[in-house]
Amino acid sequence: MHAYTVANTYIFTPIEDVVALKQELLKAMHQHHILGTFILAEEGMNAGFAGTAENVQAMYDYLHADARFRDLTFKESITDEMPFEKAKVKLRNEIVTMGVPNTTALDTRDTHLSPEAWNALLEDPEVILVDTRNHYEVAIGRFENATDPKTDTFKDFPDYVEKNLLDKKDKKIAMYCTGGIRCEKSTAHLKQLGFKHVYQLDGGILTYLEQIPEEKSKWDGQCFVFDERIAI
C-alpha cells in the first residue's frame, strides 16, 4: 500500500493565458503522475491534488518555477488511498464561485489573522463570528459560538450578508473557511460594501488545526474536505 501526499493551494494573481496554462498544467500533471483538480480563472488558481511524496514535490517545483506562483504554499496531509480519480484542469470565471461581479481578493492581507491572533480575537464578546462554509460542512464541526449562514453553496453567501449583516458595518466581523479561499472572497466582498473591521483566519481551519494544540483549541468537531476522505 502506498502513502500519498494530498496538497491543497490557492492564489489570487492575474492570469491572462488561462487556456494555454490549462494545457501546460495537464501536461505537468501527467508527467509527474499527479491526480486532482486545478481551477483556473483570470483572478488566480485553486488546486487540490495528490501523488507520492516525490511526485508531489516535483509538481511543487514546476509551479514555483512560474513567477506568478513563486510564493505558493501548500497544505499537506497523508493518506493510504488516492483520493482523486483523474487529472483535471477546469476554466472558470472565479476560482471560488461567489457570483458577485468585480469582487476580487487580490489584496486582503490586512485582514488576515494567525491562529494565535484568531484565538485572541474570539475572546472579544463583541465579535460576530461567521462560518462562510455550507450547512453540511458546518454540521460536522465549527468554532465555538460561530453563526451558521445555512447556505447550500457559496453563491448564497452574499444574500446572507444582505439580509443579516448590512446593519453591522461598524462591528468586528470574523470569518473562516476550510483553507482560506472562501474567506478571501467574502472578506473582499464585505470590504467593498463598506464594512470597517473585517478579519479572516489565515490559512483557514486546516492551518488552525495544525498549529493550535488541542488544549487551546476553540474548534469543535471535524473538518469537511472536498475529496473522497470527506472529513479530517
Phi-psi bin for 177: left (phi > 0), alpha (psi -120 to 50), beta? beta
Could you list the active site residues? Answer: 177
* Closest by CA position to 151, among listed 79, 102, 99: 99
Cell digits of residue 5: 501526499
Question: C-alpha grid cell for residue 220?
Answer: 469543535
CA-based nearest residue to 24, from 84, 68, 74, 81:
68
Task: Work out the burial of residue 29: count CB atoms within 10 Å of its CB; fewer than 13 is exposed, 13-18 middle, 19 or more buried.
Answer: buried
